[in-house]
Amino acid sequence: MKDIRLLSEWIQQSRFTVVLTGAGMSTESGLPDFRSKSGWWKNYDPTTIASVDAMVANYSLFHEFYTMRLKTLAGCSPHRGHYILADWEARGLVHSIATQNVDGFHKAAGSRRVYELHGSLKSIRCSGCGRPGTVEDFLERADCRCCGGRLRPGVVLFGEALPQDAWNSALRDMKKADLVLVIGTSLQVYPANQLPSMTAGKTAFINYEVQGTGSGFDMAVQGKAGEVLAELDRMIK
Ligand code: OAD
């Protein structure tokens, strides 16, 4: 409580706040994260299912996994925490959000300056010629209408580089930030996990589990993203 009060003051005093989110930001929307007990990677080995090699060598399995991810996503929507961050941007309390999430929830909630470091699940494209496709085509396992290639979601697979624009924008803002809020991530995946160390500003970690990962931050708040953001929002208003 004392920490949340102090963090609410940091947010109000900061002139340039940048947010970094991970899968823990969306679990309250009903989407599993990756490394918690019920996370995706507890049941699937990412290298055999979410890598370039997997897409080429075993498209059926790859397609099955991303069909499941898309169908899960279709049944979920942003929660109050996403809307609070969007409102803070509109009120000048947040400059931008760099997210590792591919669900599109920050934009859906109204955040405008969002850098999707790991791409977007619903941005289907051809794995051959790169032309855009539709989610429906992907789910039906149709081929690319232009070249007959296989369709894939626009997410960063293991073995692929991050989208350059998103990465550069996130890095630029981290360097300018005087406050960075890191929410719902285990910070295990490179290079997104390097971003919090790129700022000279204050850093705060809001996560369900804070032991270990939270130690490198100026403040660690243990709790659920939506609940902590709602509490902060009440204090700021
Ligand atoms: P992880 O699953 O590794 O970490 C999620 C973190 O959020 C864990 O520390 C959870 O304890 C925490 N958490 C869960 N629910 C929460 C809640 N309601 N509020 C606050 N914290 C909560 O997910 P990421 O760090 O996002 O990459 O994983 C990074 C990348 O690894 C993903 O983008 C994905 C994956 O492989 C790609 O697919 C390229």
Q: Is 225 in the pocket of ligand 1 (CB under 6 A)?
A: yes
Chain position carrying tokens 């989407």: 31
Strands 151-155, 119-126: parallel, antiparallel or unpaired by DSSP?
antiparallel
Q: Which residues of 174-211 are buried (b: 16+ CB within 10 A; e: fewer)?
A: beebebbbbbbbbbebeebbebbebbebbbbbbbeebe
**DSSP state, residue 96:** E
Ligand 1 centroid distance, CA of 46 (Å): 14
pLDDT of residue 1: 66
What tens-digit pLDDT sequence spans the chain (237 residues)?
A: 678 999 999 999 999 999 999 999 999 999 999 999 989 999 889 889 999 999 999 999 999 999 999 999 999 999 999 999 999 999 999 999 999 999 999 999 999 999 999 999 999 999 999 999 999 999 999 999 999 999 999 999 999 999 999 999 999 999 999 999 999 999 999 999 999 999 999 999 999 998 888 789 999 999 999 999 999 999 998
Quick one: which atom of ligand 1 is closest to the CA of 158? Answer: 39
Q: Are residues 128 and 50 in the same domain?
A: yes
Total tally of structural domains belonging to the chain: 2
Ligand 1 centroid distance, CA of 22 (Å): 5
Q: Are residues 66 and 171 in the same domain?
A: no
Query: Do residues 205 and 219 lie in contact, with contact meaning Cβ atoms separated by under 8 Å?
Result: yes
Cross-strand bridge partners of residue 116? 99
Please provide residue 120's backbone torsions phi and psi, each rounded to the nearest 5 degrees: -145, 130
Clarify whether 95 is annotated catalytic. Answer: no
User: From atom 9 of ligand 1, which residue's Cα is the shortest distance away?
Assistant: 186
User: From atom 14 of ligand 1, which residue's Cα is the shortest distance away?
Assistant: 24
Domain of residue 102, CATH code: 3.40.50.1220
Q: Are residues 146 and 230 in the same domain?
A: no
Q: Distance between terminal CA atoms of the chain?
A: 16
Ligand 1 centroid distance, CA of 32 (Å): 9
Q: Are residues 113 and 187 in the same domain?
A: yes
Please provide residue 37's backbone torsions phi and psi, each rounded to the nearest 5 degrees: -55, -40
Q: Is 193 in the pocket of ligand 1 (CB under 6 A)?
A: no
pLDDT of residue 157: 97
Q: Are residues 137 and 114 in the same domain?
A: no
Domain of residue 67, CATH code: 3.30.1600.10
Q: Is 35 in the pocket of ligand 1 (CB under 6 A)?
A: yes
pLDDT of residue 47: 87
Domain that holds residue 2: 1-31+78-118+161-237
Query: Do residues 166 and 98 lie in contact, with contact meaning Cβ atoms separated by under 8 Å?
Result: yes
**DSSP state, residue 109:** T
Q: Are residues 199 and 179 in the same domain?
A: yes
Q: Are residues 46 and 143 in the same domain?
A: yes
Q: Which three-class secondary structure state does DSSP give residue 98?
A: strand
Q: Are residues 185 and 224 in the same domain?
A: yes
Cross-strand bridge partners of residue 97? 19, 114
Q: Are residues 222 and 134 in the same domain?
A: no
